[in-house]
Copies of this chain bind each other. A is one copy, B any other.
Amino acid sequence: MPPASNSSEEWFGERERVGLEQRIQVRGVLYEGRSDYQTIRVLDTVPFGRALILDTALQTTETDEFIYHEMMVHPALISLAQPERVLIVGGGDGGCLRRALQHPLLEAVHVELDRAVVETCRRYLPQVSGGAFDDPRVRLLFADGYEFVEKAQEPFDAIIVDLTDPLPSSPSLRLFTAEFYQAVRRILKKEGLMVTQSSSPLLLTHDLLMIYANLKAVFPLVRVCLAPVPSYPGVLWSFTLASVGNDPLALDEATVRQRLEARGISPRYYSPQMHLASFALPPFLAGLLAEPEHFQDLKATHPVAQ
């Protein structure tokens, strides 16, 4: 991994499918390489500090990763009175792993397809994982997440699915299917929860609706929560939790507060109040989830079309 040049890019842009682009000014390229699965870049950006880019999509940045990773992990793990075993699929930057280990786990199994992502992030974005990869409770495997889940035998309290977006060309796509969620359900304890990032509810609504429908086909209880991630196109992001019965909305603020305090966790985005507020959905979005047939494809219309 040689240090890369300092001059090749001035702005990094992501063009979503609806004529909208977020451009981020770049100070320099810290790393650029190609693994067996994707191109990997670490950029030093003006607004967000260091950023990880896989192929053409920004994955995480050092300044706003806390919002995404706290929301991927804490709503699910706080919903468990005693989480012991957690599985993380994807999430090679270690941000989910770090937040999961703040809970009193006995073991965190981390299955990442691409060893080069973990190596790059440990070297160039160490603050995202914050030493989590060195925690003795971690079992890190470089393997296909789909195959791991299919073959796994021991059950988990929580399964955190932190993947690149479900583009048609992506190896992640299979891990957004009902078949995968069926395999997840098989290795989830009775009180367990799974969570997946579920894309931009405003710009990529069809992705969220697809993920939601696939989860509903498998799990009796599916809940969507929202949070802003400033470096992502569209900013507002969705996270979908699923279980056979454990309902994150059954918690009151006092229980969330008591569990955070007992575990010594002081998040910067997530809080007892935010736990409940994040699951509140505006009527236009709740309506689409209830009646997705009313959704008009964004490619043809508008992100918040009537």
Contacts and interface: CB of A to CB of B under 8 A. Distances in A.
Interface stretch (A77-85, A116-124, A132-140, A277-285): A277-285
B302 A284 contact: no
A172 B273 CA distance: 34
Interface string A216-239: 000000000000101000111000
Contact of A280 (B16, B21, B64, B274): B274
A273 B49 CA distance: 35
B271 A304 contact: no
Interface residues of A, number: 48
A1 interface: no
A22 B24 contact: no
Contacts of A267: 283
Nearest to A235: B235
A22 B11 CA distance: 12
A216 B6 CA distance: 45
Interface stretch (A30-38, A40-48, A155-163, A185-193): A40-48
A23 interface: yes
